[in-house]
Amino acid sequence: MEFKYEIFDTHAHYDDEAFSEDREEVLAQIREEGVVGILNCACSKASLETTNKLTIDYDFIYGALGIHPSDANDYDESVKNRISELVKENKKILAIGEIGLDYYWDENPEREIQKHVFREQMKLAEELSLPVVIHDRDAHADTLEIMKEFPNVKGIVHCFSGSLEFARECVKLGYYIGITGVVTFKNARKICEVIEGIPLEKLLVETDCPYMAPSPNRGKRNKSDYIRCIIAKIAEIKKISSKEVNIAVNENFFRLIHKEK
């Protein structure tokens, strides 16, 4: 009997305008394709509300609320209070995110502002006893330094792009490594080494949709059922079955959020 995927996408953006014209149809289609759950991650002030609404409108969508480093200038006391309020009102908000550091784009807020806002949101996660979803782009050393300042906070290093050594440091702190469609790209040697060197019980799978669709759909709008390509690649690297990978990554996510499947 053929294995039937049960996909939990641990990082998506279905409130993105890329889905404005056919969101309902896409979400219905991916459910038919075996998607059992999605963690929709906010990144801006506006997306705190749109993410929260998605969790209310769709039973299989959960939320993470936070301000992305590119919008760090928008984080203030009122935003903090709104996140806290939504977390208390809505049991489907499972994490604080996407938060972190992004040194890739010159137009992003100054690094000191990003670091301050990252720390503030890590404090909030600690206060609310929630895991975090961390965005780290070209900022590995500073990201790790701030993670170490909050030993009680655990979470996901989303769209992992660092070395195996950095991954091991993250795992030591109790974090999970988020694997995206990048692993299926031809030049993905570094992330393949990470998958090889990190135990399966510390890996999670994610799309970051609508971005970064895996091969053979690279360049198209990404969606959660494409995770089967990521699972297949991890299985190939780990020399185990896709079924084993699928079961393990789902269990990993539920362990992180302290929920029974």
SS (H, E, C) 86-106: HHHHCCCEEEEEEEEEECCCC
Instruction: Provide the pLDDT for residue 57.
Output: 98
> What pLDDT does residue 3 have?
79
Superfamily of domain 7-257: Metal-dependent hydrolases (3.20.20.140)
Binding residue ranges: 11, 13, 98, 135, 158, 208
Q: Quick check: helix, strand or coil at residue 41?
A: strand
Q: What is the pLDDT of residue 219?
A: 92
d(CA 51, CA 129): 20
pLDDT value of residue 1: 57
Which distant-in-sequence residues (6+ apart) come within 8 Å of 99 by Cβ?
Answer: 66, 67, 68, 69, 117, 118, 121, 122, 132, 133, 134, 135
Helix ranges (DSSP H) in 129-218: 140-148, 164-172, 189-197
Per-residue pLDDT, 24: 98
SS3 176: strand
State residue 220's pLDDT score. 96
* pTM: predicted TM-score of the whole model, two decimal places: 0.96
3-class SS of residue 203:
strand
pLDDT at 258: 81
Which residue positions in the chain have pLDDT lower than 50? 260-261
- Binding-site residues for a divalent metal cation sit at 11, 13, 98, 135, 158, 208
pLDDT for 229 equals: 97
* Structure token pair of residue 128: 């609310």
Kindly report each contact of residues 210-219 with a partner whose C-beta sits within 8 Å and lies 24 or more positions away, as own/partner: 210/13, 210/16, 210/18, 210/19, 211/13, 212/159, 212/180, 212/181, 212/182, 213/181, 214/180, 214/181, 214/182, 214/183, 214/184, 214/185, 215/181, 215/184, 215/185, 215/186, 217/181, 218/181, 218/184, 218/185
Which tens digits make up the pLDDT trace of 194-220?
999 999 999 999 999 999 999 999 999
Contact 90, 56 (CB under 8 A): yes
**pLDDT tens per residue across span 86-111:** 999 999 999 999 999 999 999 999 99
- Greatest alpha-carbon pair distance for the chain in Å reads 55
The whole-number pLDDT of residue 261 equals 42
